[in-house]
Structure 1
Amino acid sequence: MRASGGGLHARPVSTIRSVESSIDEATFYDQAYVVQEPLVIRDCIAPSVSKWFHQNEHGDVTLDSKLTGNSNTPEMPYEYVRTSIEDDVARANFVSWLQGGKASQPAPETLNNKNQTRFSQFNAPIGLLSKAIEFNAQHKDSKMRHKRLYIAQMPINELDPELQLDLEAPKLLQRSATPCDVYNTSIWLGLEPTYTPWHRDPNPNFFMQLVGQKSLRLLPPGPGGKVFMQVQNAIGSANSSRIRGTEMMEGPERSALHDTVWGGDAPKEVQEATLGPHDCLFIPKGWWHSVKSVREEGHLNASVNWWFRFRQPRGESAGRS
């Protein structure tokens, strides 16, 4: 298992149970969904979504024209996090490159702002991320690459119907004996390192890795909520676990939660999974989790997830809802 920032004497972290993609819908339902236990399913990706990506002449994975060349693709919700002077230099170089030479594309005002905050959000075409990948491919030194540019939680239902077909709900969520409601589906595309802070979802989550690797750390609702409240008390805050804003992305809460969850003294109940391309993770309802890319050199990282819930069949006990 990859070390997660704790040093030589870091507390061991439990690994989430994994199975192969041959698991059937009934077994997944009984052994993961009903008992509310996280489960990794290896190599279960639908092949159609692989058409969204290809290797460029530099050997880096980039976005295919099927995604970037679709005139019906809406603007994407970007996040950008700056952490150092190094980030400022790389961002400024990227903006200059965009505005001159062959790129000839205006940079979003947020990226062009020299006095921008640590964390910012804006909407821009998906071509911006494609250009950033192209820019990074020209720099062997990772310090010169533009990083932490992240399309976070883009709803699939806002994409062209042809693209939506590439991301149909996985077969494991299509159990005929127990109808399933898929509430929302999102894609996550960004330049590593990418990071999602400690939070919980109101519905079960089926998370699929597409490009690159991500590690996830999880805790059940009770222990996970306890970690959140301990951090709130430690930093003198009273933020709600249900209504989260930019405080989870910057400032003392972000730092404290990251150190608590990913540091060497992480809670003993923490479970971890590292997903590569074609791997999936079932996250039960209410389980707290944080997500981060394994690599940090500015390469593309891509994921998709489905929030869902099985409807209880007639005659089935309430304990299986």
Structure 2
Amino acid sequence: MRPFVIPRPSQAWRTYSNINCSLRAHTFGFTERLARSHHARPISTIRSVDNSIDEATFYDQAYIAQEPLVIRDYLKSSVSTWFHQNEHGDVTLDSKLTGNPNTPDMPYEYVRTSIEDDVARANFVNWLQGDKPSHSAPNSPITENQTRFSQFTAPIGLLSKAMEFNAQQKDSKMRYKRLYIAQMPINELPPQLQLDLEAPELLRCPATPCDVYNTSIWLGLEPTYTPWHRDPNPNFFMQLVGQKTLRLLPPGPGGNVFMQVQNAIGSASNSRIRGTEMMEGPERAALHDAVWGGDAPKNVLEATLGPHDCLFIPKGWWHSVKSVREDGHLNASVNWWFRFRQPKGDSARK
């Protein structure tokens, strides 16, 4: 078996460190538990349609109209063969993905938010090495309310092993959580796996050719979270395993939220990059509270997606994504960034 940490050339927006490294510590009093306040008022939901929608309707009423749209139970693609249920009823990774010798190392993220996370992570490492688990926090200079964020590369088997470890933990607090394969480019996967993630039919309308600029797979142990940001191209997002909730705002209002946070913390982050500054410290806390806290914008839109539900996110629309559950189970999604070419006349609408 290959070791779980193998060096790989980093990309411009990624900074990787070894899984066993000393993660950076911060003195910011944020934990996700404290930031999960519930709204006293209802949140507006994004318009939803069933899977009978055709390409022309999608093109007119979503893409051209620049309106987000949920499509329920849209696609039961061959990517479903990547997953199966174990004897406990939990969804796990299939050998089609984990057993392929050509599957490259994956870009992992790990977020620590509490002492319990330290214990769970240390127990997982001990379990991998065949040692007995510890029930006390590792010797560390950090305190309960500090957040740490790390990025590294490792084989897909690391995630599979973490799920195996979690299945043996009766106490959900002792499960290894927030281990996330975030934004793995599909074009880096073996060709046979890429075929499982062919662009949806709604993006392959013959009358209106479409260019898919990039596409990514997201695999993680809940809770998973992506902060407030915008994409340079329209985004077609599909949930595969578990549930995720997304909150969105149009370019103007969404940008105002981002700038208010930046001004409040004295930062100047790039809103189009899922960078380190978004994932730790004061920016993570401030962005989370601004979008998910009790004072979130009154016009924010929300959608909760289950397996095979899809969401169209128009170009420039701001959004944040988080899993519904928080107990260390698998959550999986895929997305395609795309753009339709200019149609000839009204042929796309006929």
- TM-score, normalised to structure 2, is 0.83
2:86 to 51, 56, 65: 56
Matched residues in 2 for 1:100 and 1:308: separation?
46
User: Do structure 1's residue 184 and structure 2's residue 214 form an aligned pair?
Assistant: yes
Aligned to 2:67: 37
Q: Is the 8 A contact 1:148 1:191 kept in 2?
A: yes
Change (3 A) 1:235 1:50: same
Q: CA RMSD in A?
A: 2.0
**In the alignment, is the contact (CA less than 8 A) between 2:229 and 2:273 conserved in 1?**
no
* Amino acid aligned to 1:54: H
Partner of 1:72: 102
2:301 aligns to what? 271
- State the partner residue of 2:243: 213
Distance 1:197 1:232 in 2: 13
For 1:36, what is the secondary structure of its paired residue?
A: coil
CA distance 1:114–1:59, shift in 2 (3 Å): farther
From the superposition, tell whether residues 170 and 244 of structure 1 become closer, same or farther in structure 2 (CA, over 3 Å).
closer
Contact 1:76 1:126 in 2 (8 A): yes
Question: Which structure 1 residue ranges, 5 or more long, are not aligned?
Answer: 102-111
Instruction: Please list the CA deviations of residues 113-134 of structure 1 after superposition, one character each: whole Å capped at 9, or x if unmatched.
Output: 9679700000000000000000
Give the superposition deviation at 1:244.
Answer: 5.5
CA–CA distance in structure 1, aligned partners of residues 271 and 52 of structure 2: 36
Q: After superposition, give the CA deviation of every residue in 1:199-228 in whole Å (9 maximum; x if it has no partner).
A: 000000000000000000000000000000
Do structure 1's residue 199 and structure 2's residue 199 form an aligned pair? Answer: no
Question: Given the superposition, is the C-alpha separation of residues 298 and 100 from structure 1 closer, same or farther in structure 2, using an over 3 Å criterion?
Answer: same
1:224 corresponds to 2:254 = yes
Specify the SS of the correspondent of 2:79: helix
Aligned residue identity for 2:154: A
* Alignment correspondent of 1:105: none
- Of residues 46-55 and 301-310 in structure 1, the stretch that sits farther from structure 2 once superposed is 46-55
Partner Cα distance (2:277, 2:316) in 1: 20
| Aligned with 1:288 (options 315, 318, 341) | 318
1:28 corresponds to:
58
Distance change in 2, residues 1:188/1:113 (3 Å): farther
Residue in structure 2 matched with residue 301 of structure 1 by the alignment:
331
- 1:219 maps to a residue whose letter is L
Query: Do 1:46 and 1:170's aligned partners in 2 also have CA atoms closer than 8 Å?
Result: no
Match of 2:193 in 1: 163
- Name the % identity: 86
Map 1:92-241 onto structure 2 (within 5 A). 92-100=122-130, 118-241=148-271
Secondary structure class of the residue paired with 2:197 = coil
